[in-house]
Structure 1
Amino acid sequence: MEYLLQLAASPTAWVALATLVVMEIVLGIDNLIFISILTNKLPEQHRQKARRIGIGMALILRLGLLSTIAFIVQLTAPVIEIFGHAFSWKDMILIAGGLFLLWKATTEIHHSMDPAPDDPKSATSTVTLGFAAAIGQILMLDMVFSIDSIITAVGMTEHLPIMIIAVVVSVLVMLLAADPLAKFINDNPTVVMLALGFLIMIGMTLIAEGFGAHVPKGYVYAAMAFSAAIEVLNMMSRRARQKRVTAEA
């Protein structure tokens, strides 16, 4: 208790907490985009449940990883060398997660451009398998993003309570933003393609990080923000044009 009181009275601790909360929320954007796109493929009555399970498991995974900080730190130690380049467990996890994101985003783009006809005979089995598959894929990416998130937290502060508070706050923000973001993406088909493009960029970033090429997160998120701003202008232009056509009619 005395340790917590000392932290609460330390301005440095509060600055570290605020910085880490912002960092964790920003890092959670990648996870949230993936969850939104994936759950929107489910029947409407299953979407919110899948989002809650996915984000809840993200919280459990991150808190669980925080309890094994000594093990998490060891994940950055080299364990294998290929063609003169050393890879750690973290590198291999990031590469695997990046490849999975590339595969998933490319598959979703293909389905968006050339959707397969629905088979009414197998509607029930498709819902069940689709929900289970969605949860499995969310959990897989939760693990990748959680490890990256916790390693970032360990690098920013040595105080476990600060890490726990930052992780809980960031996941709560994800939980609050999940439904509005998923609805926005679902209501605007062009945003789906933009979000899938984001996933491809994130996947390539994870692979690059796995191979030791550090990509500043600021560049990635600046590109995403610029693209999103352009899409917002396009949406405003389309709506204004539609209103004008309706008024003339």
Structure 2
Amino acid sequence: MDSIITLFADPAVWAALITLIVMEVVLGIDNLVFISILSNKLPEKDRQRTRRLGIGLALIMRLALLSLIGFIVALTAPVFDLGLVGPVGEHGEPMFETSFSWRDLILIAGGLFLVWKATKEIHHSVDPAPTHDVLDAKNAVINNAGAAIVQIILLDLVFSVDSILTAVGMTDHVPVMMIAVIFAVLVMLLASDPLAHFIEKNPTVVMLALGFLLMIGTVLIADGFGVHVPKGYIYAAMAFSALVEGLNMLARSARKTSADKAKLH
């Protein structure tokens, strides 16, 4: 107890905690968007339970990985090398490399899954013809909750590994990591229902969210190959796209209000 009090008496620890909480919340929102899109494909009675189960699993995975810090850090050690290295970039590092660690392989697999899932969902949104996909809203039945949970678990694992490696890179103190992770998951839990309802009521937001998932999947694959895209660029692009979509929603709402007033007169 005394060691924890001493730890949090250091201003640098508080600065690291606040920064890490912000980063973990951002990573958690990516995870939450995927959970919301999947849960909205299920019957109404299963949606909230599936979302909360997915978020609960995300917390369990993150805390379990935190208890295995030594193992997680070892995930960054190279497993095999194909011997290919790209030209040196402006920062003195190769533009890509083919020395793969377990972290790289997990990110590539998760990115491919995200790209596949987002592309499939975009196809379903664009093509109105019914399909036999188990998660197609036209065919959704109660048994689909299991299929959704399996996919949520797979992406929870990818986002959890990324989240914990981010935490390890920010601080050496496990209590700080645990507080940041728990706080981020609590934010996910509080935001899950409002975000899912918002996505459900605004179909164009679904397409935007799927576009985000497609971009995130591509970035994960690139990161796995050693191509490090600055996260600031990614989130700036997402924020700008969300702002444009927000303006479109305001414009549609204004036109609807104007049309309703015209009908009354």
TM range (shorter): over 0.9
Residues 42-84 of structure 1: per-residue CA shift (max 9 Å, x gap): 1111000000000000000000000000000000010012253
Aligned to 1:211: 225
With over 3 angstroms needed to count, the CA separation of the structure-2 counterparts of 1:49 and 1:241, relative to structure 1, is: same
Q: Is the deviation greater in 87-96 or in 239-248?
A: 239-248
The answer to whether the Cα contact below 8 Å between 2:30 and 2:213 also exists between their aligned partners in 1 is yes
CA distance in 2, matches of 1:118, 1:138: 22
CA distance in 1, matches of 2:10, 2:217: 38
TM-superposed deviation, 1:115: 3.4
In the alignment, is residue 144 of structure 1 matched against residue 158 of structure 2? yes
User: Counterparts in 2 of 1:223-242, with a 5 A limit?
Assistant: 223-242=237-256
Q: Is the deviation greater in 3-12 or in 58-67?
A: 3-12
Aligned to 2:130: 117
Whichever structure has more helix as a proportion of its residues is: 1
- 1:95 alignment partner AA: I
TM-superposed deviation, 1:7: 1.2
In the alignment, is residue 178 of structure 1 matched against residue 192 of structure 2? yes
SS in 2 for 1:227: helix
Residues 149-173 of structure 1: per-residue CA shift (max 9 Å, x gap): 0001001000010000000000000
Aligned to 1:44: 44
Number of paired residues?
A: 245
CA distance in 1, matches of 2:131, 2:124: 12
SS in 2 for 1:128: coil
Q: Normalising by the residue count of structure 1, what TM-score does the alignment of the two structures yield?
A: 0.95
Aligned to 1:53: 53
Structure 1 moving runs of 4+ over 6 Å: none
TM-superposed deviation, 1:188: 0.2
Aligned to 2:8: 8
With over 3 angstroms needed to count, the CA separation of the structure-2 counterparts of 1:96 and 1:179, relative to structure 1, is: same
Q: Give percent identity, aligned residues only.
A: 66
The answer to whether the Cα contact below 8 Å between 2:36 and 2:196 also exists between their aligned partners in 1 is yes
Q: Is the deviation greater in 179-188 or in 11-20?
A: 11-20
Residues 161-203 of structure 1: per-residue CA shift (max 9 Å, x gap): 0000000000000000011011000000000001000000000
In the alignment, is residue 91 of structure 1 matched against residue 104 of structure 2? yes
Aligned to 1:23: 23
TM-superposed deviation, 1:10: 1.4
The answer to whether the Cα contact below 8 Å between 2:42 and 2:140 also exists between their aligned partners in 1 is no
TM-superposed deviation, 1:2: 1.7
SS in 2 for 1:127: coil
TM-superposed deviation, 1:16: 1.1
TM-superposed deviation, 1:117: 3.4
- 1:4 alignment partner AA: I
Structure 1 gap segments, 5+ residues each? none
TM-superposed deviation, 1:226: 0.3
Structure 2 gap segments, 5+ residues each? 85-97
User: Counterparts in 2 of 1:70-109, with a 5 A limit?
Assistant: 70-84=70-84, 85-109=98-122
